[in-house]
Amino acid sequence: MIRRRICGILSAVLAVMILGGCGGSTAGSPKTRYQATLMDLFDTVTTITGYAASEEEFRETVGKIQSEMTEYDHLYDIYTPYPDMVNLCTVNSRPGETLTVDERIIDLLLFAREIDEKSGHRVNAMLGSVLSLWHEAREAGIADPANARIPEAEALQEAAAHAGFQYLEIDAERRTVRLTDEKARLDVGALAKGYAAQRIAEGLPEGMLVNFGGNVVATGAKPDGSSWVIGVQDPDGGGEGYLKKIALQTGSVVTSGDYQRYYVAEGKTWHHIIDPETLMPGTRWRGVTVACADSGIGDALSTSLFLMDREEGEKLLAEFGAEAMWIAPDGTEFFSDGFRALIKD
């Protein structure tokens, strides 16, 4: 995947931090705690923490995560083509053509279409024509800060005319897809990482915690029965401070925030979550953290809620059985009822 620069902040990839040190073997358990870090998958850092009987056993699990994540990363990459693979970059670069794709692409796109509908078209994976303008402006702005610009309003409007799932045909039976508009493009950045994380987590041993660049997934309690503790980052903490601690045994915690990926242009900061109504970065919230059983849904919902008012967000949460914490621009924190129960003091 094309390396989007780290925007001068490492916190970009650590929206949610795993707290707590690395211990040795736990009392009463022959298992030892291990940790590994994988770089560059989905343009982010993946941290794997777990207990295993031996280092070899742990390494095997890490290897499995790495190879599966690499496959998903390549399949869902919209920027880079890979030899002998039809991926989303291929789909984007060949509008009009009917392409046979991997089942994992069909599954992701069907999920993305469902989220587009359920989010009232706020999280729209067929907004690529617009998002690519922001992506290019951000890349150029980071490379050459003195000349950083935001996309022209007219160009954004023109691009928006080519957005929407009406321009994507998906034939699940034949496993084919086709962009029906010359300028329509996919961008699955809002949900692909979580979707892949969930598919991979389902095949992992119990008692692991994997942080896929801010998409945290837990596969069961630690061997001593205790929960994992996950910190919700302070938007102004520069990757250090956290606002709340969440106790989690099984499930996922995902954050979308305005402090994760951004650049500075024309004297202001511009982040990466674009409101389809204004075609500009959303300004309602600093961050939204979603806790739910499925990390794909968590990823899609955290981006959706970031672009909605709280009432609408609550409705979406109820539909998916998820919980959330919102951080308003003035720092006020809001919680769905069930989220409070997850907070550890």
Closer to Mg ion by Cβ: residue 49 or 302: 302
In the shown chain, the binding pattern of residues 286 to 315 toward ligand ADP, with x for contact by CB under 6 A and - for none, equals -------------x--xx------------
3-state secondary structure of 323: strand
Which partner, ligand ADP, Mg ion, none, binds residue 150 by CB below 5 to 8 Å per kind? none
Quote the distance between the C-alpha of residue 299 and its chain's center: 5
Among 2-10, 41-49, 222-230, 295-303, the segment contacting Mg ion (CB under 5 A): 295-303
Backbone angles phi, psi at 8, to 5 degrees: 70, 0
Which partner, ligand ADP, Mg ion, none, binds residue 125 by CB below 5 to 8 Å per kind? ligand ADP
Tokens standing for 245?
Answer: 């601690």
Counting residues that bind ligand ADP (by CB under 6 A) gives 21
> To the nearest whole angstrom, how small is the minimum distance from the Cβ of residue 164 to ligand ADP?
11
Give yes or no for residue 123 binding ligand ADP (CB under 6 A): yes
Which partner, Mg ion, ligand ADP, none, binds residue 112 by CB below 5 to 8 Å per kind? none
Q: How many CA atoms lie within 13 A of 339 on its CB side?
A: 22
Tell me 106's DSSP state: H
Task: From 336, 341, 48, select the one nearest 216 (Cα to Cα).
Answer: 48
User: Virtual CA dihedral for 139, 156, 284, 263, nearest 10 degrees?
Assistant: 20
Backbone angles phi, psi at 48, to 5 degrees: -115, 125
Give yes or no for residue 336 binding Mg ion (CB under 5 A): no
Which partner, Mg ion, ligand ADP, none, binds residue 273 by CB below 5 to 8 Å per kind? ligand ADP
Contact with ligand ADP (CB under 6 A) among 73, 77, 187, 234: 187
Contact with Mg ion (CB under 5 A) among 299, 306, 325, 339: 299
Q: In whole angstroms, what is the distance from residue 323 CA to residue 342 CA?
A: 9
Single-letter code of the amino acid located at 112: A
Closer to Mg ion by Cβ: residue 62 or 301: 301
Closer to ligand ADP by Cβ: residue 57 or 181: 181
Give yes or no for residue 90 binding ligand ADP (CB under 6 A): no
> Bridge partners of 290?
254, 324
Which partner, ligand ADP, Mg ion, none, binds residue 50 by CB below 5 to 8 Å per kind? none
Q: In whole angstroms, what is the distance from residue 128 CA to residue 78 CA?
A: 9
Q: In whole angstroms, what is the distance from residue 262 CA to residue 214 CA?
A: 16
Give me the residues that bind ligand ADP (CB under 6 A), please.
122-125, 127, 131, 187, 189-190, 193, 214, 256, 260-261, 272-274, 276, 299, 302-303
